């Protein structure tokens, strides 16, 4: 009993059946309708998004017996033979297996001859980037001066490897990765047509695992139907894909909301029996946090097949918006660093603990929907997550404003601990620290260096100080009055004193004295430098 794979059985036969890639479909349909059909097309994009499918549909449009049209009839001999892969004037080449220049020359030797059956002789070269340099040179000559009866359709997953001389002679179309919703919708339509029982949640999981590729989605769906014994359920999809049940992910988020570290570790350890892919678990956790964040921001957000609105509503009340953002950022950073962990389970558990460890001791979580800026800022600083942009610096305060002069050494120590470079560090070094009042850091800028001050540099300095102090701060500038010394002035004073000391030591050196007395030598002060 023969069986045709879903990816082959449901391959689009015309543009109307094509899923996604509207920008490509529209351009080709318009070109066919106007009769302005270029001689060479390049289709690029990741695997399974429709490159060769579009090329074959285009070949049918060019050779349909009803005429050049964007809607081939699909019933004429030419259309049927192209669908069956036996049309003599559609020459399909896998460049990965024919990379030698002799193969290319042999292929192009027949370009000059008229089509055998069709209106055009169409060369479909897949994975064209695999051709050798000499093969590209042989192809280039034909692309420069093609016969009127020849069309070239090139497809590749890696257009960067194509010579610019080839790219410049082709119309290039970049096919996009398909969104999960489009893949899931198409899979559901196929399952209904095939009369296969399914769960929407299981289909959604397959669509996510397809990673933008419709062909991968159909292959995974075939595998799921076989794995599930003729049905496509959520439990079967999770078992096949190695993902854990969503109840476990919800449980993890509940424990995070309760700040229950011991329960969180027990829950994480209980996952071991499922032999999960911990990177996928973090993906699931991040995905749930995204939905909770949407629910907090948009009250009528309805969720999707995986998480119903009632669950999202409960989690949105249990977590503050700041915690949702922090946990999400920690989850995706933990997923990135997971390959560096000594072992995956330990890296996963440490990521969960990191989410709770950033709460300052003795401080409770903010009420849902409320704010807890000091706690959030300290967590962000520990997680190396940039804080929310702080309030814009206020206008210059008058010089006569009362300000307690701070310790210059304290400001120098702070600048030695923060991460600042370039113009932002220059700005800080030309400021004197006048002290701190609440969340305001008061600085006096040397009037000779106003040029280094700009909103962008102020923002960088404010962010660096926010990370240093563990809470958001804003900057208040006033014109420097010389009452406090800036770090730059301190360095200049120290350098001047060091130079003066070096010159005094040189002047009193016995050897120098002897040269001056015996030979009348003259000391050039500007040439004297301290030895570092």
Q: Pick from 11, 172, 155: which is nearest to 82 by CA?
A: 11
Q: What is the CATH number of the domain that holds 457?
A: 3.30.300.150
Regarding whether 32 and 152 lie in a shared domain, the answer is yes
Residues 104 and 253 occupy one common structural domain: no
User: Which of 22, 13, 21 is CA-nearest to residue 60?
Assistant: 13
Mean pLDDT of 483-488: 78
Residue 194 binned pLDDT confidence (cut-offs 50, 70, 90) = very high
Whether 387 is covered by a domain: the verdict is no
The CB density around residue 391, as the number of other CB atoms within 10 Å, is 12
In a domain, 333, yes or no: yes
Q: Give the separation between CA 405 and CA 407, rounded to whole angstroms.
A: 7
150 and 213 belong to one structural domain: no
Percentage of residues of the chain with pLDDT beyond 90: 27
In a domain, 397, yes or no: no
Between the alpha carbon of residue 133 and those of residues 92, 104, 146, 399, 460, the distances in Å are 20, 11, 20, 70, 48
Q: Is residue 395 part of a domain?
A: no
* 218 and 258, same domain (yes or no): no
Task: Pick the last residue of a domain from 146, 174, 202.
Answer: 174
Which of 115, 150, 174 is at the close of a domain? 174
| Residues 166 and 212 reside in one and the same domain | no
What pLDDT, on the 0 to 100 scale, is given for residue 385?
38
Domain of 509, in residue numbers: 499-527
Q: Is the pLDDT of residue 304 over 80?
A: no
Give the predicted TM-score (pTM) of the model.
Answer: 0.57
> Can you tell me the mean pLDDT for 419-430?
83
pLDDT tens per residue, range 280-296: 899 989 999 999 999 99
Same domain, 167 and 194: no
The per-residue pLDDT for range 209-244, each reduced to its tens digit, is 888 899 999 999 999 999 888 889 888 888 888 777
Shared domain for 420 and 507, answered yes or no, is no
Contact at 8 Å (CB) between 247 and 270? no
Q: Provide the number of structural domains found in the chain.
A: 5
Q: What is the domain-level CATH number for residue 203?
A: 1.10.8.60
Shared domain check, 135 and 11: yes
What mean pLDDT is predicted for residues 253-268?
89
CATH number at residue 361: 1.20.272.10
Phi, psi of 165 (to 5 degrees): -65, -30
Does 363 lie in the same domain as 224?
no
Query: Which of 124-133, 160-169, 235-244, 328-337 is predicted least confidently?
Result: 235-244
pLDDT digits (tens, 9 = 90+) for 411-421: 888 888 888 87
88, pLDDT greater than 60: yes
Q: Identify whether 391 is part of a domain.
A: no
For the four alpha carbons of 143, 145, 148 and 149, in that order, the dihedral sign comes to: negative
328 and 356 inside one domain: yes
Q: Is residue 493 part of a domain?
A: no
Q: What percent of the chain has pLDDT over 70?
A: 88
Is position 443 within any domain?
Answer: yes
Is the pLDDT at 509 greater than 90, yes or no? no
Q: How many CA atoms lie within 13 A of 103 on its CB side?
A: 15
- 3-state SS track over 83-149: HHCCCCCEEEEECCCCCCHHHHHHHHCCCCCCCCCCCCEEEEEECHHHCCHHHHHHHHHHHHCCCCC
Where is the domain boundary, 118, 149, 174? Answer: 174
Over 80: is that where the pLDDT of 393 sits?
no
Higher pLDDT, 453 or 395: 453
Looking at the structure, do residues 431 and 352 belong to the same domain, yes or no? no
Residues 164 and 187 in one domain: no
pLDDT in tens, 431-456: 888 888 888 888 888 887 787 788 88
Q: Decide if 402 is inside a domain.
A: no
| pLDDT at site 130 | 87
What pLDDT, on the 0 to 100 scale, is given for residue 359?
A: 56
């Amino acid at each position: 009993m023969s069986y045709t794979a879903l990816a082959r059985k449901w391959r689009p036969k015309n543009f109307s059946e094509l899923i996604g890639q509207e920008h490509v479909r529209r351009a080709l349909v318009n070109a066919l309708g106007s009769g302005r059909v270029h001689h060479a097309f390049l289709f690029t994009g990741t695997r399974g998004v429709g490159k060769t499918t579009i090329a074959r549909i285009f070949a049918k449009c060019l050779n349909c017996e009803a005429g050049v049209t964007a809607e081939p009839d699909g019933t004429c001999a030419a259309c049927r033979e192209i669908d069956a892969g036996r049309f003599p004037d559609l020459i399909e080449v896998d460049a990965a297996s024919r990379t030698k220049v002799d193969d290319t020359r042999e292929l192009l030797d027949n370009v000059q001859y008229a089509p055998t059956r069709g209106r055009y002789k169409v060369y479909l070269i897949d994975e064209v980037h695999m051709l050798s340099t000499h093969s590209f040179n042989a192809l280039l000559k034909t692309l420069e001066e093609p016969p009127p009866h020849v069309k070239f359709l090139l497809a590749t997953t890696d257009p960067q490897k194509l010579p610019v001389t080839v790219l410049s002679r082709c119309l290039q179309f970049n096919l996009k990765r398909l969104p999960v919703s489009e893949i899931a919708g198409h899979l559901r339509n196929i399952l209904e047509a095939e009369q296969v029982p399914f769960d929407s949640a299981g289909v959604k999981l397959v669509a996510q695992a397809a990673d933008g590729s419709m062909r991968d989605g159909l292959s995974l769906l075939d595998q799921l139907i076989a794995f599930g014994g003729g049905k496509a359920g959520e439990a079967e999809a999770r078992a096949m894909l190695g993902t854990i049940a969503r109840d476990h992910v919800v449980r993890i988020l509940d424990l995070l909301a309760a700040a229950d570290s011991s329960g969180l570790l027990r829950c994480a350890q209980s996952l071991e029996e499922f032999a999960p892919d911990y990177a996928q678990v973090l993906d699931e956790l991040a995905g749930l946090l995204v939905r909770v964040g949407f629910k907090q921001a948009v009250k009528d957000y309805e969720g999707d097949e995986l998480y119903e609105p009632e669950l999202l509503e409960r989690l949105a009340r249990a977590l503050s918006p700041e915690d949702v953002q922090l946990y999400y950022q920690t989850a995706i950073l933990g997923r990135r660093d997971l390959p560096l962990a000594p072992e995956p389970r330990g890296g996963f558990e440490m990521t969960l603990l990191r989410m709770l460890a950033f709460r300052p001791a003795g401080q409770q979580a903010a009420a849902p929907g409320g704010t807890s800026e000091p706690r959030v800022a300290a967590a962000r600083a520990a997680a190396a997550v940039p804080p929310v942009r702080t309030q814009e610096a206020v206008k210059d305060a008058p010089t006569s404003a009362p300000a307690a002069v701070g310790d210059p050494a304290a400001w120098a120590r702070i600048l030695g601990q923060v991460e600042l470079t370039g113009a932002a560090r220059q700005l800080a070094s030309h400021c004197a620290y006048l002290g701190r009042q609440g969340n305001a850091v008061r600085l006096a800028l040397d009037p000779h260096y106003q040029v280094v001050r700009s909103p962008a540099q102020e923002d960088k300095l404010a962010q660096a100080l926010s990370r240093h102090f563990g809470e958001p701060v804003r900057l208040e500038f006033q014109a420097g009055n010389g009452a406090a010394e800036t770090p730059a002035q301190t360095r200049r004073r120290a350098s001047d004193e060091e130079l003066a000391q070096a010159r005094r030591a040189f002047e009193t050196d016995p050897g120098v004295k002897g040269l001056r007395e015996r030979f009348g030598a003259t000391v050039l002060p500007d040439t004297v430098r301290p030895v570092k």
